[in-house]
Structure 1
């Protein structure tokens, strides 16, 4: 069997695993990472005597691992350009030279979130030698045909990891519960019955408060606003709120255009009854959540409006964020 064919088979295997994991409501990406990192650790265990690491610097540890794979004929270490800035390691490789390029192309064509096998293997190697958790970000520059990766320490637990400890369900170490949509709808129905005038405000504020906590945690790991916002939107998708899409972001103007496909709030009112007397946009919880994300990421007071909604026959829900000052200048209530 040729080596090129063997590498393709490995790519097919990872692609199949990724497709399966992407259908899991929680933790799919985490378990994919466990599989990749476990494979890297097996390679280290089997060939530890051949591994040459010149120091305990993260860049030297990564370089030593790449040279081990080079010696085994799996890749060319010279294709990878590494540099260290403080605790961060920047990795650059020509996309056409990456052994996992076919895997990356296939998963992107299927709209599976970008996932880098090589960066996750390096995370495993760093954790083994430094006993420190790393995370990563990846950007593919189509124009330059380059992949730019960044590895950096991650002091926080992953937000989507779901485990059970005895009788307690936990997400990222905190106790959690799975709330059926019928229960959610009954709570809203009770608010509508006893205090209908506060329903919109309660939902918006609940979304804002919960979104603020998520954004504060994520911003510590992903300081770049655009990258962090995409991470947060993907987390909402993992929680079952809908498929989020960042259409545009203008940080200087405080503006973002976000779409939500298959909003859980729209499905809730369709199945369990209308909350309002007349047709209107209904995704007030998401409005508050998006406002909180942008408020934290841009460090200014941001408001969010839903400008179209699937509940009114549109193909998706669409949200626009603006600075609070802009809303006040229009004479609108915040």
Structure 2
């Protein structure tokens, strides 16, 4: 596809449409997370040959996932930072270049169900690689355009 801007618009509108429909279902947020996790799984298996972790920590798995997506030109690796504190992985994403930023902003403006695809895919890869379920919380985008979130083990009580 030659028109990259149109492709990103299409992806964002697709997520908005999915969010609208899934919001009508009981446990809509969980279903939307499952859709994003399924997408992440499919992308992972398509590009698994490019995935290599430089360590065995959750942050290593997350960084390796970002490298895979960066290698495909879907994001800028330097716009992601992971800091682990007491079992919680703090995630910082510079939003200005996020492929999903229009989905994020428009869903919040419209009050539509929103689940961050980037945070969800990071949570997914950490859960897969550690073999344990993880949860996530996303915060509002700060004044500097940085998305913040936390990914943590489901049984951590956080």
TM-score computed with the length of structure 2 as normaliser: 0.92
Q: How many residues align?
A: 157
- Per the alignment, residue 140 of structure 2 pairs with 140
User: Post-superposition, which runs of at least 4 consecutive aligned residues in structure 1 deviate over 4 A?
Assistant: none
Alpha-carbon deviations, 1:176-224, whole Å to 9, x = none? xxxxxxxxxxxxxxxxxxxxxxxxxxxxxxxxxxxxxxxxxxxx34xxx
Task: Give structure 2 stretches of 5+ with no counterpart.
Answer: none
Distance across 1 between alignment mates of 2:55 and 2:121: 19
2:24 alignment counterpart: 23
What do the CA deviations read for 1:253-308 (whole angstroms, capped 9, x no partner)? Answer: xxxxxxxxxxxxxxxxxxxxxxxxxxxxxxxxxxxxxxxxxxxxxxxxxxxxxxxx
Deviation at 1:68, TM superposition (A): 0.4
What is residue 11 of structure 1 aligned with on the other side?
Answer: 12
Distance between the aligned counterparts of 2:95 and 2:67, measured in 1?
Answer: 19
Higher relative contact order (CA 8 A, sep 6+): 2
2:62·2:122 contact (CA, 8 Å) conserved in 1?
yes
Equivalent residue for 2:75?
Answer: 75
CA distance in 1, matches of 2:115, 2:129: 23
Where in structure 2 are the equivalents of 1:1-150 lying within 5 Å? 1=1, 2-24=3-25, 26-150=26-150
Structure 1 unaligned residues grouped into runs of 5+: 157-219, 222-334
- Please report the RMSD computed on the Cα atoms of aligned residues, expressed in angstroms: 1.6
Flag the structure with larger Rg: 1
Residues 13, 141 of structure 1: alpha-carbon distance in 2 compared, 3 angstrom cutoff? closer
CA contact (8 A) 2:79 2:94 kept: yes
Shift of 1:142: 4.1
- Distance across 2 between alignment mates of 1:34 and 1:40: 10
Q: Aligned equivalents of 1:54 and 1:105: distance in 2?
A: 34
1:91-240 alignment to 2 at 5 Å? Answer: 91-155=91-155, 220-221=157-158
The alignment's TM-score, normalised by the length of structure 1, stands at: 0.45
Deviations 1:205-248 (A, max 9, x none): xxxxxxxxxxxxxxx34xxxxxxxxxxxxxxxxxxxxxxxxxxx
More strand by share: 1
